[in-house]
């Protein structure tokens, strides 16, 4: 190789390395996945360090904790982190808070405590909006006889795997049954399918759900408002929908990726985003869902607790899982799809589906950012 050619190769290789390294996920944003910071003395803070790793809608982490009760805490929905357009009733926020409570209880088991959880201690919320009263009062009771919950060990491994799954590899029935069992309790049951015809149909409905959500400007705007674009924004606010890496780094600097262009349904970027989401729905060999006998506020919390156990059980079994809520959403434009989906799987009111998720096998994905615990404490 002559000197000129060598320099050319080195330049291309160097640029590729710089590109691959540029705009990485900031280490501080994913540090919470290592568990409680060393020296955390208050056991409640240690338990909360695990609870913040719960799955949650749009990764907004809509939890707020009042630490004034010395023997526990009060959990609130953070009124600044709601999604009124896509989640007008606040149902998904309560499902999210259910997962948080379940993780808190699992973490309590590792500390030799049990969490006695009283839902809506100052009265339950109206069916159509959340308010500032506590969602739960948690009393931590020392319980040395309690065994550490086996799911505790998999908390750091849990992910929502938003990638294509191997469609030739459905999840075996025995594994599905074990996952479903983790999520089953009075008032809640699960359904699942690996039937190629039904899985394809559900994939089609879920894909259509994304199209309806993405092309309703106010719904799309709500998602754009919680985008953190690039490593600097993510480091400052490690929550929401995070976009980073060479493509976004160059795209924002060259001006072809902007928040405005993401809303423009005629742009190539918009089409790429929607197409890739829709393709994922089809790259799904198995679907699983949690159905509830009613849609009360406590039931929504219980569904979140059940999903959390299902999610951790999937992580323990090496199964990839990815919730997709579009066809379950309550805004007007989604109602035809809500009905078609429920009819197709034979769930009739007052029953409804609370969580719908893709299941399958895929390569491991990196963790999503989290805010550190001190930022969720209520002043």
Ligand X SMILES: Cc1cc2nc3c(=O)[nH]c(=O)nc-3n(C[C@H](O)[C@H](O)[C@H](O)COP(=O)(O)O)c2cc1C
Binding site for ligand X (CB under 6 A): 55-57, 59, 92, 95-96, 99, 159-160, 162, 323-326, 368
- For the bound state, the minimum distance from the C-beta of residue 166 to ligand X, rounded and expressed in Å, comes to 19
- For the bound state, the minimum distance from the C-beta of residue 161 to ligand X, rounded and expressed in Å, comes to 8
- Beta partners for residue 139, in sequence order: 72, 116
- For the bound state, the minimum distance from the C-beta of residue 13 to ligand X, rounded and expressed in Å, comes to 33
**For residues 193 and 326, which CB has a smaller minimum distance to ligand X in the complex?**
326
* Nearest residue to the partner ligand X, using Cβ: 55
DSSP 329: -
**For residues 162 and 378, which CB has a smaller minimum distance to ligand X in the complex?**
162
- For the bound state, the minimum distance from the C-beta of residue 178 to ligand X, rounded and expressed in Å, comes to 20
**For residues 65 and 310, which CB has a smaller minimum distance to ligand X in the complex?**
310
Among 116, 5, 113, 34, which residue's Cα sits nearest to residue 370? 34
Beta strands in 151-232 (DSSP E): 188-193, 227-229
- For the bound state, the minimum distance from the C-beta of residue 96 to ligand X, rounded and expressed in Å, comes to 5
**For residues 139 and 162, which CB has a smaller minimum distance to ligand X in the complex?**
162
**For residues 142 and 272, which CB has a smaller minimum distance to ligand X in the complex?**
272
The conformational region for residue 240 under phi > 0 = left, psi -120 to 50 = alpha, else beta, is left
**For residues 157 and 271, which CB has a smaller minimum distance to ligand X in the complex?**
157
- How many angstroms separate the CA atoms of 250 and 254, rounded? 6
- How many angstroms separate the CA atoms of 250 and 269, rounded? 14
Beta strands in 272-368 (DSSP E): 286-292, 320-323, 352-360
- For the bound state, the minimum distance from the C-beta of residue 33 to ligand X, rounded and expressed in Å, comes to 9
Cα angle for residues 349, 352, 353 (degrees, 5° grid): 160
- For the bound state, the minimum distance from the C-beta of residue 92 to ligand X, rounded and expressed in Å, comes to 4
Among 70, 64, 69, which residue's Cα sits nearest to residue 52? 64
**For residues 60 and 117, which CB has a smaller minimum distance to ligand X in the complex?**
60
**For residues 140 and 278, which CB has a smaller minimum distance to ligand X in the complex?**
278
**For residues 56 and 109, which CB has a smaller minimum distance to ligand X in the complex?**
56
- Beta partners for residue 322, in sequence order: 358
The answer to whether 59 and 368 are in contact (CB under 8 A) is yes
Q: Would you mind telling me the total number of residues written for the chain in this entry? A: 379
- For the bound state, the minimum distance from the C-beta of residue 109 to ligand X, rounded and expressed in Å, comes to 21
Scan for tokens 């309590």, then name that residue.
Answer: 108
Q: How far is CA 329 from CA 131, 164, 335, 350, in A?
A: 20, 23, 8, 16
- How many angstroms separate the CA atoms of 337 and 341, rounded? 6
Residues 6+ apart with CB under 8 A from 46: 35, 36, 40, 107, 111
- For the bound state, the minimum distance from the C-beta of residue 48 to ligand X, rounded and expressed in Å, comes to 16
Among 349, 207, 188, which residue's Cα sits nearest to residue 275? 207
Scan for tokens 């990638």, then name that residue.
Answer: 163
What torsion do the CA atoms of 357, 359, 363, 367 make, to the nearest 10 degrees?
Answer: 30
């Amino acid at each position: 190789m002559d000197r000129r050619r060598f320099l050319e190769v080195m330049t291309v290789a160097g640029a590729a390395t710089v590109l691959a390294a540029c705009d990485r996920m900031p280490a501080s944003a994913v540090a919470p996945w290592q568990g409680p910071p060393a020296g955390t003395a208050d056991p409640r803070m240690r338990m909360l360090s695990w609870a913040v790793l719960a799955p949650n809608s749009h990764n907004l982490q809509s939890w707020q904790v009042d630490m004034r009760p010395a023997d526990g805490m009060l959990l609130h929905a953070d009124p600044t982190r709601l999604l009124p357009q896509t989640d007008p009733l606040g149902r998904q926020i309560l499902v999210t808070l259910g997962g948080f409570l379940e993780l808190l209880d699992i973490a309590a088991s590792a500390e030799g405590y049990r969490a006695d959880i009283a839902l809506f201690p100052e009265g339950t919320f109206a069916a159509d909006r959340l308010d500032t009263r506590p969602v739960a009062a948690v009393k931590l009771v020392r319980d040395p006889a309690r065994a550490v919950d086996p799911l505790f060990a998999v908390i750091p491994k849990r992910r929502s795997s938003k990638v294509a799954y191997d469609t030739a590899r459905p999840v075996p029935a025995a594994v599905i049954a074990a996952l479903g069992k983790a999520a089953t309790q009075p008032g809640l049951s699960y359904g699942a399918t690996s039937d190629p015809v039904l899985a394809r149909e559900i994939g089609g409905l879920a894909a259509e759900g994304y199209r309806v959500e993405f092309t309703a400007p106010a719904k799309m705007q709500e998602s754009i408002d919680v985008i953190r674009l690039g490593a600097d924004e993510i480091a400052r606010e490690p929550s929401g929908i995070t976009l980073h890496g060479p493509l976004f780094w160059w795209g924002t600097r060259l001006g072809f990726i902007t928040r405005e262009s993401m809303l423009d349904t005629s742009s190539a970027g918009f089409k790429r985003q929607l197409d890739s989401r829709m393709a994922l729905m089809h790259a799904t060999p198995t679907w699983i869902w949690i159905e509830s006998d009613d849609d009360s506020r406590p039931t929504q919390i219980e569904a979140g607790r059940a999903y959390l156990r299902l999610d951790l059980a999937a992580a323990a079994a090496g199964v990839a899982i990815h919730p997709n809520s579009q066809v379950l959403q309550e805004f007007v434009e989604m109602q035809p799809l809500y009905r078609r989906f429920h009819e197709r799987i034979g769930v009739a009111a007052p029953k409804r589906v609370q969580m719908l998720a893709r299941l399958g096998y895929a390569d491991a994905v990196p963790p999503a950012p989290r805010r550190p615990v001190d930022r969720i404490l209520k002043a």
